[in-house]
Amino acid sequence: MPDRKQTYDVLVAGGGNAALCAAITARQAGASVLLLESAPKAFRGGNSRHTRNLRAMHDAPNAVLTDAYKEDEYWDDLLRVTGGNTNEEMARMTIRASSGVFDWMKDCGVRFQPSLTGTLNLGRTNAFFLGGGKALLNAYYLTAEKLGIDILYDTEVISMNMDDGSVRSVDITYRGFPETVYARCVVASCGGFQANLEWMREFWGDAVDNFVIRGTPYNRGRVLKNLLDQGVAAIGDPTQCHAVALDARAPKFDGGITTRLDSVPYSVVVNKHGDRFYDEGEDVWPKRYAIWGRLIAQQPDQIAYSICDSKAFPLFMPSVYPAIKADSVGELALKMKLDPAKVIATVDAYNAAVVPGQSFDNLKLDGNRTEGLTPNKTNWARTVDKGPFYGYPLRPGITFTYLSVKVNDKAQVLMENGQPSGNLFASGEIMSGNILGKGYLAGFGMTIGTVFGRIAGAEAARHARN
Amino acid sequence: MQETEAVLNARREMEICNACRYCEGFCAVFPAVELRRDFSAGDLSYLANLCHGCRGCYYACQYAPPHEWGINVPRTLAEVRAESYVEYAWPPALAKAFDRNGVVVSLVAALSISLILLIAMAIASPGQFFAARGMQADSFYAVIPLWAMQVVGVGTFGFSLFALWKGAMNFWADAGAKQSITLTAIAIAVKDAVTLKNLGGGGDGCNDNSEAFSMRRRYLHHAMAGGFMLCFAATCVGFVYHTFLGLPAPYPFISAPVLLGTVGGVLLTIGTVGLFAMKLVEDPMPVVRRLLGGDVAMLVLLALAAITGLFLLAVRATGAMGIALAIHLGFILALFLVLPYSKMVHGVYRSAALLRRAVERDMKPLGGE
C-alpha cells in the first residue's frame, strides 16, 4: 500500500495510454510517481482500452509497418481531416516523434502484430497492438508496477488546487473517501468530457440523448473543468469530437469497436424521412468514417439508416448486431419503421442514377458514381436490387471530445495570461484539441497520447528535480 | 453438435469477436472465426477444439467480465469442448464417463491396480511374488506372465485406439472440413500440434494466472507429451528386443528401452507435476471449475504411471519388484482403459481441428479486407 502522505515527485491523473506513458517515462528518469486511476482495476485504461493501433511516421518499411509514410504525407492527411484547424508546428513535432516510439514501447512489453492486412487498409500507416489496447495497457501496467510506480485504482481527482499558476495540492476521493495528496509536479492525462452527458448537453441540447458514448464511462471531464475554472487557457470548440457512425442498438457506454459499422461506402444511407443526405462514397472509409458521426448528429432525431443489397453485404466488417433483413426494400423500410413509399422512391431514384460500366473495386476509389442526384454518390455506386436486402440503424458514436487545456510543445499547461504553469503538464485527450481542431485520423489519438505522455513525463521529472 | 446453452453462448461470443478481431494475432481460433459470419454448432465445436486455452484473449478482452457482455472465450470454448467430448464418444453409452470424470478416472485407476494385484497374487505364490531375482532373465514374467500382459495390454489399448478413431470420425463428420485433405495440410497440422504453436500467444507464450506471459505451460506440456511418447517408444523397443532379437527383459540401465523409459518417465513426471502445480495457482476466471476434476485426475494418473515406472526400475532387482510391477501395470491398465473417456481425447480432437484449420488456411476473411 503506497504511503499517500509523502510528497511525490510526479503525480499523474489518469490511467490510460497517455497517463502510463507519462508515469513510466517520469519513473525511468528517476522520479517517484503516483498514478491515480478513477476506474476500478477491471476497467482501467480509459478509452485506450478500446483502441487498436497507433499512426506512425516511417521512412522505410519495418517489422510492423509496410512501405513508407513520411512526414509530409502524414501532415497532409491531418491537414485534410482537420480542414486546417490544427497547429502545424506542434502537429509536425508529434508526427516526427511518432517514428521513434517503437523501441521504447517494445521495452515496456508492448507487442505489435506483424504488418498485415488488419482492417480499414491501415497496414501502411498504423501499427497494430497485438491483442489491442487492453493488451497494450496490461503491458504498461506490468512495467509500471515493476518500476515501482504507486498506482491507486478507484481514485478520482476532484480538484487540482492551483495558486499562482502552480498546483499546490490535489484533492482526491480514494475508494469514495476524500483525501489530499501532494506532488512537486502534476500531469493531467485524464481524458475528455464525453461521458459527462450534462456537460455535453450544454453544447448539443437534447441531441445528446441520442448519442452513444463508445468508450469508458469514467471520462467525465472533472479535471478539465476544474482546470478551466482556475484560469487555465482553453483551446478547441466544445462541440468538436471524434464521432463515428455506430449501430443504433449499441449500449450507451463502453461498446467499443464492435458497434461501429463499415457499411456506409457500400450502402445508400437515408435519414428518418427516407432522404439521402451525404455522399456515401466520398473517399475510402478510413478517411471518412470519422465524419459520419457528426453527419448523423446533424440529422433529425440523430438517426440514419444504411441500406444495401446482398452484393454489398459481404464487403464490410459485421457489426455485433445482426443486420435487419428483408426480401424487398419496402419490407426493409417497414421493419426499420421508415415510410416504405419514400424509401422505395429514394432507392429507385438512386438506382436510376447509377452510371454503369466501370468495374467495381472496393479497395480503391473506383469511380462508380451516380449522376443527377443531390447529393451524388461518387464511388462504389452500384444498384441496390439484389435481394435479400440488409439494413442497419445508425447513431452518432462519440469517442472523445476536443475541448482541451492549452499546452506548449513541452506539454506545459498554459494559463489564460499565456504563461506556462509552474508544475502542471498535460497529455492525451485532455490536450488533443491543441492539434485536432476537428475531424480525425485513425490511430492519431494514441499517437498524441504516446508522444505527449512521454514529453510530459520527462518534463515533469526534470522540473521535480530542479 | 446439439444446440445447448454453451453452444448458444459460444455463438454469441464468436459474433462479438468477429466484429472486433483484436485477438487475431494470438492463435488460430480468431483467423478461423473471420472466415465466416454464421456459426453452426459444428463450427463452434471446431473452434472450441481449436482453442488451446492459452487465455491471451481473455486478458486482452475489452469486453471481459465485469463488462456487461462478459466475454470469456477460453471458458466458453472449454464448456463447448467438454460437451463435444460427450457428443463424439464411442460407444455412446460410455459417454457418461465424462460426467464427474475425475471420479471415473480415479475409480478406474483404483480398480485396475486392485485387479492386477489380485491376478498377480492368484498366479504367483507369496514366495514367488516377493522373491528378489536380481537381473535374472524373464524375472517380470514370473510375477505376471507375459501372455497375460500382452492379452490385457493389446486388448485394452487396441479397444481404446479404436474408440478414439471412432470419436475422431464423429468429430470430422460434424465439425470437420468440407474440402478435401491435402498432404500439405496434414504436414502443417502435425507441425502445429507437435510444436503447440497455439500456446505461443503470438510469440511470448500464454497467460498463466495474470496479464504476464510465459512459456511455462507450453514447455511443461512438451515435457509431458514428449515423456509420454518416449515411454511408449521404450515399450515398443522392448517388444522388438523380446520378440525379434530374443532378448528378454529386464535390460541393463544402459540399453535403449531403459534409457528411453527413464528419460521419458522423468520428463512425464516433470510435465505433469508442473502442470498440476500451475492449476493450484491459476486464475479461476478463464477456466471451467467443473472440468478441473477430470483434468487433475488425468495429470495425477500420468504422473503416478511415470513415478511407479521409475520406482519399478529402482527396485526391480529386489523383493519389492513384484508389488512395484503390479502397481505400475495397474496404472498403465487404467491409462489404457480411460484413454477415450478422459482429458486425453483432447489430443485427437485438437489435432483434427488443426487439420481443418490447415485445410482452410487459404480462405479469405469476410469483410474488412
* Range of the structural domain that residue B273 is part of: 92-344
State the best of A258, A266, A321 to mutate against chain B, taking most chain B CBs within 10 Å. A258
Rounded CA-CA distance A148/B134 in Å is 61
Is-above-0.90 flag for pTM? yes
Contact A214, A384 (CB under 8 A): no
**Chain A residues within an 8 Å CB radius of B39:** none
Instruction: Look up the ipTM and state it.
Output: 0.93
List the Cα angle A339/A345/A351 in 5-degree steps.
135
Q: In 3D, which of A55, A121, A159, A17 has the Cα closest to residue A436? A: A55
User: Which domains are seen in chain A, by residue range?
Assistant: 7-237+403-465 (3.50.50.60), 243-397 (3.90.700.10)
Q: In the 8-state DSSP scheme, what is residue A279?
A: -
Nearest to A121 among B63, B66, B369 (CB): B369
Which domain-ending residue is among B22, B55, B89?
B89
For residues B263-291, average pLDDT? 96
Let me know whether B129 and B157 are in one domain: yes
Chain A residues 182-241 with a CB less than 8 Å from chain B: none
Q: Any chain A CB within 8 A of the CB of B246?
A: no
Pairs of residues, one from chain A and one from chain B, whose beta carbons lie less than 8 Å apart: 101
Let me know whether B260 and B321 are in one domain: yes
Q: Shortest Cα distance from B366 to chain A (angstroms)? A: 6
Kindly indicate the confidence band of residue B318, based on its pLDDT and cuts at 50, 70 and 90: very high
Let me know whether B50 and B157 are in one domain: no
The residues, ordered by sequence, that sit 6+ positions from B357 with a Cβ below 8 Å of its Cβ are B28, B32, B50, B189, B192
Q: Which amino acid is at B107?
A: L
Q: Any chain B CB within 8 A of the CB of A319?
A: yes
Rounded CA-CA distance A373/B324 in Å is 89
**Chain A residues within an 8 Å CB radius of B66:** 42-43
Q: Shortest Cα distance from B358 to chain A (angstroms)? A: 19
Let me know whether B117 and B11 are in one domain: no
- For residue B222, report the phi and psi dihedrals to the nearest 5 degrees: -60, -45
Is the model's pLDDT at B212 over the cut of 50? yes
Kindly indicate the confidence band of residue B91, based on its pLDDT and cuts at 50, 70 and 90: very high
**Chain B residues within an 8 Å CB radius of A289:** none
Note the pLDDT of residue A289. Answer: 87
Let me know whether B53 and B190 are in one domain: no
B350 falls within a domain: no
Write out residues in chain A with pLDDT < 50, as ranges: 118-120
Contact B312, B321 (CB under 8 A): yes
Which domain-ending residue is among B43, B66, B89?
B89
B205 falls within a domain: yes
B274 falls within a domain: yes
Note the pLDDT of residue A118. Answer: 45
Q: Any chain B CB within 8 A of the CB of A138?
A: yes
Is the model's pLDDT at B367 over the cut of 80? no
Nearest to A113 among B25, B56, B67 (CB): B25
Let me know whether B182 and B281 are in one domain: yes
Let me know whether B194 and B266 are in one domain: yes
Let me know whether B166 and B231 are in one domain: yes
Let me know whether B138 and B229 are in one domain: yes
Q: Which amino acid is at A307?
A: I
- The x, y and z cell numbers of residue A428, run together, are 492525451
Which domain-ending residue is among B43, B63, B89?
B89
Of the ranges A321-325, A436-440, B19-23, B41-45, the best mean pLDDT one = B41-45
Let me know whether B32 and B138 are in one domain: no
Q: Which amino acid is at A244?
A: V
Total number of domains constituting chain B: 2
Let me know whether B162 and B303 are in one domain: yes
Tell how strand A33-36 and strand A150-152 pair up. Answer: parallel
Chain A residues 259-318 with a CB less than 8 Å from chain B: 259, 262, 314-318
